[in-house]
Amino acid sequence: MTDCLFCKIREREIPADIVFEDDDVLAFNDVNSQAPIHILIIPKQHISTVNDVDTGDEPIMGKLFSVAKTIANQQGISEDGYRLVVNCNEKAGQTVFHIHMHLLAGRAMTWPPG
């Protein structure tokens, strides 16, 4: 997707503070962090929203969780805890239409979310 912000980050057309990368997944710091640690974890493959996930995407969707666990270990937040969020479409607050998992940590989280 040529005009997708996160595809452009994947292609290094837009700079980002990358904290993890492998063949399938990229993770980088959110530019507008909502917690002391706020990292976005994306599949390199362009999938717009959760509504666009199909059964063939199950391995990569599962991998987002294992990468979240790896990053949490690297950041030293596994025991204190962290929140993983995926927004789907406008009413949930999705603003970038390349599926991504938010990893938030470093402060107490409230429930319900806003």
Q: How far is the CB of 92 from ligand AMP (least distance, A)?
A: 8
Q: Does 55 bind ligand AMP (CB under 6 A)?
A: no
Choose, by CB under 6 A, the member of 4, 18, 19, 30 that binds ligand AMP.
30
Give 48: exposed, middle or buried? Use CB within 10 Å, 0-12, 13-18, 19+: middle
Say whether 100 is catalytic. Answer: yes
Quote the tokens at residue 68.
């979240």
Rounded to 5 degrees, φ, ψ at 93 are 100, 10
Residue 7 near which of ligand AMP, Zn ion, none (CB within 5-8 Å, type-dependent): Zn ion
Q: Which amino acid is at 21?
A: E
Quote the tokens at residue 22.
């492998």
Contact at 8 Å (CB) between 14 and 96? no
Residue 82 near which of Zn ion, ligand AMP, none (CB within 5-8 Å, type-dependent): none
- Binding residues (CB under 5 A) for Zn ion: these are 1, 4, 6-7, 46, 98
Catalytic positions are 100
- Binding residues (CB under 6 A) for ligand AMP: these are 5, 14, 16, 28, 30-32, 40, 87, 93-96
